[in-house]
Structure 1
């Protein structure tokens, strides 16, 4: 338009020279934080830690942070991942404690590595998850570890198990069985899952493919109730591992290339 002037966008942002891949945990009450809540907490933590963040250009620059496949709100996790881009090369090992100290208790940084040392994009490596599903014992329950094992055997014996999920466009049937790589009753204490086997708690280990849409532990629980006829209580679920699927097994995302 004649007479109009282009508003300058300001100086170009400094380029990103390093990308860090971060593994963090959601523990305790922090399992109820939403993805957006975590994003705000991480951006504040990055500023407090004084990291040289890279920013996008334009009128509204934002920090270059990539989030991938967050656990559902209400689920704990020992294996959440995020990537941040920096304008200066730093020591990843030195970043971990500083960033962890800047996050709220229960959002805990476990490991930080240079993404250049790892194969593939982060999102491409998150092909499956291992979940610990803790079923709390309660008075009068009609199930135990042996009953749960029978329910698991019934689940694995069928080719399909459909469970409805309400989507934006209405209900949709998900084939839960197709997403399950493995399902078993844990016979030992599982690190990351606070269970009391002596008090009657039962923990299932569920290895799930990341299908579209992703099948959640809650839908595995629903399918188990369906196939077994047991009135199983809703489990407390914790993601224990997340990464590439190799020979039917979920590997660790931060492995250095052997997978």
Structure 2
């Protein structure tokens, strides 16, 4: 009879981490990042709590990861520790252990509850190589529509969905060499990504965004009634 695996003790502390994906490391996939982060906590000698079972893993919960290729200033995860530590010390240790471009921005005590439940919306900045006037006109046409249907290839094949319903706010302003689109997206099912909104802008206006736009998530968290996004590290249940 196979021996039962040793049961691991539950975490004595949970910390939430905000990190950024910058520069060329925005092309890091979620799987690649998770491997890099597990190596980082090992190198930093962070006393992680582990799951039970025949193949224990460090207790790391990821939430709301940005699509591969997108930059982000607002990625989040939660770790469970086997010892109580000062969050500032964990911040410094992880920052030292991770490569430049994967940067820890904040570490805070978890107030409990589900981190994923707090991440209900994101704010994105989309830099496109298009004249600001043409971009603003396309945004106006998009916002005037009740629904905008787009298609995207998913793991289950080609899927058709409405990208307009997820848009909380959308605006365009000039930037050097083109325009910047400021987008707030509500999270939901199906998940609408910023590139889906660019596809929708193209569908309603014929807007050609040129070369691959730079997509940067600048905030992620609970959506307030006024359309702003709160800080999930400062939110308690």
TM-score for the superposition, normalised by structure 1:
0.86
Provide the C-alpha distance between the structure 2 equivalents of 1:96 and 1:27, rounded to a whole number of angstroms. 18
Any gaps of 5 or more consecutive residues in structure 2?
none
- How far the C-alpha of 1:84 sits from its partner, in A, is 0.4
Matches of residues 14-25 of structure 1 in structure 2 within 5 Å? 14-25=9-20
Provide the C-alpha distance between the structure 2 equivalents of 1:109 and 1:178, rounded to a whole number of angstroms. 33
Q: Deviations over 1:178-228 (max 9, x none)?
A: 0100001146xxxxxxxxx23x23111100011212111111111111111
121, 125, 140: which one pairs with 1:128? 121
Provide the C-alpha distance between the structure 1 equivalents of 2:228 and 2:158, rounded to a whole number of angstroms. 31
Provide the C-alpha distance between the structure 1 equivalents of 2:228 and 2:2, rounded to a whole number of angstroms. 55
Provide the C-alpha distance between the structure 2 equivalents of 1:168 and 1:96, rounded to a whole number of angstroms. 35
Provide the C-alpha distance between the structure 1 equivalents of 2:120 and 2:16, rounded to a whole number of angstroms. 16
Q: Deviations over 1:2-50 (max 9, x none)?
A: xxx342424x323311000000000011101111101110001001111
* Corresponding residue for residue 9 of structure 1: 5
8 A contact 2:12–2:82 mirrored in 1: yes
The CA RMSD measured in Å over matched residues stands at 1.6
1:216 paired to 2:178: no
Any gaps of 5 or more consecutive residues in structure 1?
137-142, 188-196
Provide the C-alpha distance between the structure 2 equivalents of 1:78 and 1:59, rounded to a whole number of angstroms. 36
Aligned residues: 235
* Corresponding residue for residue 47 of structure 1: 42
Provide the C-alpha distance between the structure 1 equivalents of 2:172 and 2:123, rounded to a whole number of angstroms. 13
Provide the C-alpha distance between the structure 1 equivalents of 2:99 and 2:53, rounded to a whole number of angstroms. 31
8 A contact 1:130–1:242 mirrored in 2: yes
* Corresponding residue for residue 145 of structure 2: 158
225, 230, 233: which one pairs with 1:251? 230
TM-score for the superposition, normalised by structure 2:
0.94
* Corresponding residue for residue 77 of structure 1: 72
Q: Which structure's CA Rg is the greater one?
A: 1
Matches of residues 98-247 of structure 1 in structure 2 within 5 Å? 98-116=93-111, 120-136=113-129, 143-186=130-173, 197-198=175-176, 200-233=177-210, 234-247=212-225
Provide the C-alpha distance between the structure 1 equivalents of 2:58 and 2:48, rounded to a whole number of angstroms. 6
Provide the C-alpha distance between the structure 2 equivalents of 1:172 and 1:14, rounded to a whole number of angstroms. 43
Provide the C-alpha distance between the structure 1 equivalents of 2:157 and 2:202, rounded to a whole number of angstroms. 23
